[in-house]
Amino acid sequence: MSQVHVIDHPLIQHKLTLMRQIETGTKDFRELLEEISMLMCYEVTRNLPLEEVEIETPICKCRSKVIAGKKLGIVPILRAGLGMVDGFIRLVPACKVGHIGLYRDPETHEPVEYYCKLPSDASERELVVVDPMLATGGSSSAAITFLKDRGCKNIKLVCLVGAPEGIKVVQDDHPDVDIYIAAIDEKLNDHAYIVPGLGDAGDRLFGTK
């Protein structure tokens, strides 16, 4: 079974409360999502392996640590996942970015794929799938399946707000994928929106409603 890491740092909780509020406009919503993503990136990368290299300071030669091993790739699920990319890139500027386009069919709530572009070496990278919302889990699970079908093995999922139902779907479908999340909310409503949630993340991020 995969692990669910709830990242409930006070700064994240405070900023998430601001994002949830109906009166928070697109500019603030976007900035808050970027800031929270940066804080979550700090936690998600906590166990990256290190290696020692020889360097020279102004004082002397010494050995010092740098990140070793597999390189990172960020894979936002379009559209709302795009809002999490810059926060990660600010901390890991060398990471590559793949894109998976999925939208939920408004009637069936099933994910519909419309775009995919991955780094050519995606299967050799440690991939972090990002999407602020984990509702039914259909979109995240489909995106992870999509990556696995292309040979990717080392995958984490980072979301802002999730419903218990969606977390269970991803854990059942992908027991090898750990989930990092800022808040687990109460439930889904009849339209498969997270309650209390923050509404439609894509629309709030891009001002499309």
Binding site for ligand PRP (CB under 6 A): 77-80, 102-104, 109, 111, 131-140, 166, 192, 200-202
Query: Considering all CA atoms of the chain, what is the largest pairwise distance in Å, rounded to the nearest integer?
Result: 66
Among ligand PRP, ligand URA, none, the one that 83 touches (CB under a kind-dependent 5 to 8 A) is none
Nearer to ligand PRP, 6 or 62 (CB): 6
Among ligand URA, ligand PRP, none, the one that 194 touches (CB under a kind-dependent 5 to 8 A) is ligand URA
Nearer to ligand PRP, 13 or 108 (CB): 108
Q: Shortest approach of ligand PRP to residue 122 CB, angstroms?
A: 19
Among ligand PRP, ligand URA, none, the one that 40 touches (CB under a kind-dependent 5 to 8 A) is none
Nearer to ligand URA, 71 or 104 (CB): 104
Question: Is residue 63 within 8 Å of 54, Cβ to Cβ?
Answer: yes
Q: Shortest approach of ligand PRP to residue 143 CB, angstroms?
A: 8
Binding site for ligand URA (CB under 6 A): 80, 133, 135, 193-194, 197, 200-202
Catalytic annotation on 46? no
Q: Shortest approach of ligand PRP to residue 27 CB, angstroms?
A: 18
Q: Shortest approach of ligand URA to residue 162 CB, angstroms?
A: 10
